[in-house]
Structure 1
Amino acid sequence: MSKVILSGSTGFIGQHLNKHLEDKGSSIYSISRSEISAAEEQLDSFFNSDHHADADVVIHLVGAAHRQFTDADANFINVELTKKVLDRAIRLGIPRFIFLSSANVYAECDEAISLDTVIDPSVLPNTMQSKLVAEEYIKQAALKHAIDVVIIRSPLVYGEGVKANFATMMNLVGKKFPLPFRSIKNNKRSLVSVYNLVDFIQICIDHSAAANQTLLVSDGNDLSTAEMVALMAEVQQKPNMTLPVPVWCFRILGKILGKQAIVERLIGSLQLDIEHTKTTLNWQPPYSIEHGFKLAAKK
């Protein structure tokens, strides 16, 4: 079975991935963001230990994505910490490095996004700009050194224990709070349950076709904002209390409050075409979107 160095094992995704891989028989060597940020000697000691130096793969989950960071902090977390871990993996001859990036490197658009979709870094927040810098460093390292790299661009991840906006909305729906989203029904957004994501990451550990690929992942069942809230109500056996506020109202309010970016995430589309991923790795999301929503609703 695989021997895995897992960075970020205490986070939401990391906890689920750690359990999934252990259930599959893998040996997990965990390292936290604080340990990666520590003195170089401490990090060298971790990687050079007898147990860690023979790892088959490094899975790097540590990153800054969901809240605001200064430019310096975003660069440090997403770029410098990635470099530190990858450089040591190369030095030890660990054969594969898996990097969890974000589908938010794409701007909202009406058409389905594929790997051919052009990315404009100038419209992205610093967290996504630094994700792209890290991706480029990883790709260049793969060209220069004997290491296979896998870059996974994931949309919003949800499941039991999820926090942030998804958890807030699920909680409001569960309390039958009337949300003004019923008319936001023409957009489409990709999501991925943490159960589908960890299954996919496990496939990427040793699948030969994953080597040196950038891959998009999702549940393969995209939802409008209205459909998302309706499903949150359904899995909690609550009435759908959403109100039909016209979409143009959100646009006007966003301009007045200077929150256009937040409004675009609410009413816009970010739909991933995962056919390349499914064909390349012969992979299908094993869990339904209803399965993930039900578990995300657990208290």
Structure 2
Amino acid sequence: MSDHAAPATGAILVTGANGFVGRALVEHLLTSQPRPVIAAVRQADADLPPKASRRVAPALGPTAQWASALKGVECVVHAAARVHVMQDAVADPLQAFRQVNTAGTLALATQAAQAGVRRFVFISSIKVNGEQTLPGQAFTADQPPQPVDPYGVSKHEAEQGLLQVARETGMEVVIVRPVLVYGPGVGANVASMMRWLARGVPLPLGAIDNRRSLVSLANLVDFVALCVEHPCAANQVFLVSDGEDLSTTGLLRRMSRALGRRALLIPIPPACLALMARVLGKTPVAQRLLGSLQVDIEKNKQRLGWQPAVPVDVALQATARHFLELQRR
């Protein structure tokens, strides 16, 4: 057992607290934790859950000063980041990601350790492991990382730096690498899929037999909250998913049911789709739709006793309800 197994009393600071994951995490911690939860946000008027305390935080970067935000804090959950984008407009994407996700994270962690923070939970990315797996050959938390794109590289470098800070200072570090997150309020590719399905757009995605791990927002924040407290999470890396892998075709069908629609999926052979994507310069998009990316969460079960609490269909229904409510406004 850890020396820190006794119940903690200091505050939990959540960075990126008005983001998709951060806001849900603050809401979850407010209902599951007896100790104070502080939302670190860039603007004082940021939209937050009503009971959340707030502190204005600096922009993530190597020179950011966190002393005032860290007062009385025992655990930091770092969800703020420069997020992955499909078409980055900056001249040097790797440098831009490193400035925020690597140098900014390590500046915060170093100052947290100096301020006496006990534990630092880092929301990383499955992109640290790599971009795809062979069907049935899932990524594990402890295999050598193979990041490919600038975002994944910046997150991996941040992880390495955090583990070094842990060794030098004694502050506990927990690294959580989620797969694709979905849930009420999700944007990007998942929101686009729901729009297509809700409008009854025929999609040439009816014959894809890949396997992809996903994680609902509810399951992710439940796991992160466990990592805040569990003594056996200290200085460990975890992958997190719903524990059920879906094909792209299967996901679209189940999403359609959640939306109360009939999916119009045309069974085009994946090889033809890959060729068309290559001709159109959309190979990365095709890789996500056609390729596999699976993760093994056995470590979470064995080490922390965690099981995903929310089934995929229940999470998809919650996602669809929120989407349809927004469409009616």
Q: Specify if TM > 0.5.
A: yes
Q: Give how far 1:73 is off.
A: 1.7
Aligned pair 1:23/2:31, yes or no? yes
Aligned pair 1:154/2:178, yes or no? yes
Query: For 1:44 and 1:151, how far apart are their aligned partners in 2?
Result: 21
Divergent runs of 4+, >4 A? 38-42
Q: Give how far 1:120 is off.
A: 2.8
Query: For 2:106 and 2:144, how far apart are their aligned partners in 1?
Result: 25
Query: For 1:220 and 1:228, how far apart are their aligned partners in 2?
Result: 14
CA gap of 1:39–1:225, structure 2 versus 1, over 3 A, is closer
**CA-to-partner distance for each residue in 1:46-99, whole Å, 9 max, x for gaps?**
23xxxx422220000011333044222211221121012101111011100000
Q: Give how far 1:41 is off.
A: 9.0
Residue of structure 1 in register with 2:47 after alignment: none
Q: Which has the higher helix share?
A: 1
Aligned pair 1:60/2:78, yes or no? yes
Q: Give how far 1:33 is off.
A: 5.5
SS of 2:68 mapped into structure 1: helix
Deviates more, 1:111-120 or 1:251-260: 111-120
Q: Percent identity?
A: 34
- 5 Å-filtered alignment, 1:205-224, equals 205-224=228-247
Query: For 2:267 and 2:61, how far apart are their aligned partners in 1?
Result: 54
**Aligned partners of 2:75 and 2:228 also within 8 Å:** yes
Query: For 2:238 and 2:60, how far apart are their aligned partners in 1?
Result: 31
TM-score by length of 1: 0.92
Deviates more, 1:4-13 or 1:34-43: 34-43
Residue of structure 2 in register with 1:232 after alignment: 255
**CA-to-partner distance for each residue in 1:222-281, whole Å, 9 max, x for gaps?**
100000000111111111211111101121122212322221111001100100111110
Select 2:59's aligned residue among 37, 49, 56. 37
**CA-to-partner distance for each residue in 1:140-198, whole Å, 9 max, x for gaps?**
111111100000010011111111110110121111111111111x2111110010011
Number of matched residues? 292
**Aligned partners of 1:225 and 1:266 also within 8 Å:** yes
Residue of structure 1 in register with 2:303 after alignment: 280
Query: For 1:118 and 1:55, how far apart are their aligned partners in 2?
Result: 33
Q: Which segments of 5 or more consecutive residues in structure 1 lack a partner in the other structure? A: none
Q: Which segments of 5 or more consecutive residues in structure 2 lack a partner in the other structure? A: 1-8, 44-56
CA gap of 1:249–1:238, structure 2 versus 1, over 3 A, is same
Query: For 2:288 and 2:186, how far apart are their aligned partners in 1?
Result: 18
CA RMSD across the alignment: 1.9
Query: For 2:222 and 2:142, how far apart are their aligned partners in 1?
Result: 25
Query: For 1:174 and 1:131, how far apart are their aligned partners in 2?
Result: 35
Aligned pair 1:6/2:14, yes or no? yes
**Aligned partners of 1:102 and 1:131 also within 8 Å:** yes
TM-score by length of 2: 0.84
